[in-house]
Structures are given as structure tokens and as C-alpha cells.
């Protein structure tokens, strides 16, 4: 059974970072505007290049979110091309693909989804397009004037990480969800995104469903030896 994070006491930063995990199953309970506002207030403390603060947060719930889910899933099921506003590569290869497969195996194992169970695998994919049926979605956008400035993208990553950490301290789970903006024109329409902003990603958020076993899955991390180099230190 998934751990009930809503009853956790305040925790130190190291514990928070190591304890947080992506939540993909939610209770239908509404999340108040006040709590979301507190979360965003914390996330805005993220550092940004020369204090440019190039981020915007569009918080969606209720019927507008249902319309986005509907448009996203219907278009993807109909075979529509991916309609993202950010540049995408041609898929992951090598170690990056291996890590992608690794977390998929963890999740499918937890959910007891067999390799040849096409129906349940398809349902899992569609959950992502529905933003995992979370009661809230936060669409994170970038000032269009900085669209081609990679530093701005880095800044939004810091702020988005701030969102998921702050949510955890408030008893809320979340998952950064690129699938939720696969049809960005739908998101733009129903979330009333201004034309001078670029849709970068979204964060599904809500109270975790403790009975949803995939919520217990925590992705693995590469060892320091494989990603860190030290120069100038005494041996």
C-alpha cells in the first residue's frame, strides 16, 4: 500500500529530496487554490539567470482540465501527430533508453502488467495523456522572448523541481508529465495561455491514492562514480 504522505511531519531537506517520488494515482479530492498558491510561492524562489524569472504557472482544474484530457486523448487515439511547442529529439538511445526502460519495468512490475498485455499497457499510456486523472494540472510556460535561450529552459527546470518538492511538503503528490502537453494547442485553448508564452511541460498534482501501488515506485539513480568527476582534490 502506498505511503500516506499527507500525514508526514515536517522533514529536513535531504530526507525530502530522497523521499519524494512521482505520483501517478490520485484521490478525486479537490485541492484548494490557497495550497497551490503556497506551493508556487515556494517554487518561485528557484534561482534564475540574472534573476530573469522567465516562468509562468497556469493552474487548471474542473471542466477546463477535463476538456484538455478529452482533447489530448482523442487526438492521440486518432493518430494525430504530436503537437508540442518545444523541440523534441528522435527518441532516447543508449544509456538514456536503458534508464527509460528500467523505470517502465519497475512500474509495470508494481502494477502486474504483463509484457504481452496490450490492453493494460495501452491503458497505462492513456493515463499519461489524461494527466493521470489528477485533480489539478499546473502548466509551466516560458516567456516567448526567451524561447531559444537554453538558460531559460534551465531556469524553468529549477522552478518545476521546486513545485514537486513544495507539493510533497504540503501532503500533495505530483508528477512532471510531458504527455499532458502532447497536444499543446488543446492545452493553450482551454487553459487560456497567452501567445507570448511557450508551453514547456505540465505537473499533475493532487492527494495520492494510497491504494495505487505504482505510487510506491521510486526510480533508481546512477552512482556518483558514473556521473561525477573530481579535479584537483587530494587522493
pLDDT at residue 13 is higher than 80: yes
Nearest-angstrom CA–CA distance, 154 and 56: 14
Residue 40: band (very low, low, confident or very high) from pLDDT cuts 50, 70, 90: very high
Give per-residue burial for 189-222: e unless 16+ CB within 10 Å, then b. ebbebeeebbbbbbbbbbbbbbebbbbebeeeee
Nearest-angstrom CA–CA distance, 125 and 119: 10
Boundaries of every domain in the chain: 10-89+131-212
pLDDT at residue 70 is higher than 60: yes
Question: Each residue of 100-143: pLDDT tens digit?
Answer: 999 999 999 999 999 899 999 989 989 999 999 999 999 999 99
24 by Cβ neighbours in 10 Å (0-12 / 13-18 / 19+) ranks as: buried
- pLDDT for res 90: 74
- pLDDT for res 88: 78
Q: What is the pTM of this model?
A: 0.92
Question: Each residue of 157-205: pLDDT tens digit?
Answer: 999 999 999 999 999 999 999 999 999 999 999 999 999 999 999 999 9
Does the domain at 10-89+131-212 match CATH 3.40.109.10? Answer given as: yes
- pLDDT for res 11: 83
Nearest-angstrom CA–CA distance, 157 and 54: 11
Amino acid at each position: 500500500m502506498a505511503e500516506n504522505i499527507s500525514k508526514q511531519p515536517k522533514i529536513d531537506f535531504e530526507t525530502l529530496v530522497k523521499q519524494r517520488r512521482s505520483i501517478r494515482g490520485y484521490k478525486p479530492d479537490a485541492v484548494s487554490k490557497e495550497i497551490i498558491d503556497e506551493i508556487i510561492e515556494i517554487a518561485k524562489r528557484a534561482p534564475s539567470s540574472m534573476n530573469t524569472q522567465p516562468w509562468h504557472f497556469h493552474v487548471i482544474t474542473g471542466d477546463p482540465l477535463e476538456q484538455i484530457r478529452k482533447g489530448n486523448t482523442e487526438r492521440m487515439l486518432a493518430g494525430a501527430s504530436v503537437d508540442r511547442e518545444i523541440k523534441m529529439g528522435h527518441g532516447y538511445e543508449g544509456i538514456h533508453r536503458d534508464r527509460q526502460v528500467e523505470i517502465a519495468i519497475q512500474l509495470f512490475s508494481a502494477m502486474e502488467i504483463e509484457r504481452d498485455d496490450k490492453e493494460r499497457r495501452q491503458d497505462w499510456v492513456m493515463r499519461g495523456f489524461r494527466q493521470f486523472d489528477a485533480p489539478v494540472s499546473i502548466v509551466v510556460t516560458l516567456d516567448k522572448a526567451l524561447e531559444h535561450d537554453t538558460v531559460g529552459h534551465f531556469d524553468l527546470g529549477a522552478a518545476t523541481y521546486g513545485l514537486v518538492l513544495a507539493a510533497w511538503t504540503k501532503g500533495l503528490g505530483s508528477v512532471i508529465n510531458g504527455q499532458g502537453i502532447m497536444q499543446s494547442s488543446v492545452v493553450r485553448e482551454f487553459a487560456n495561455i497567452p501567445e507570448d508564452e511557450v508551453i514547456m511541460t505540465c505537473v499533475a498534482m493532487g492527494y495520492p491514492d494510497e491504494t495505487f501501488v505504482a505510487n510506491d515506485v521510486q526510480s533508481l539513480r546512477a552512482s556518483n562514480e558514473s556521473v561525477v568527476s573530481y579535479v584537483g582534490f587530494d587522493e
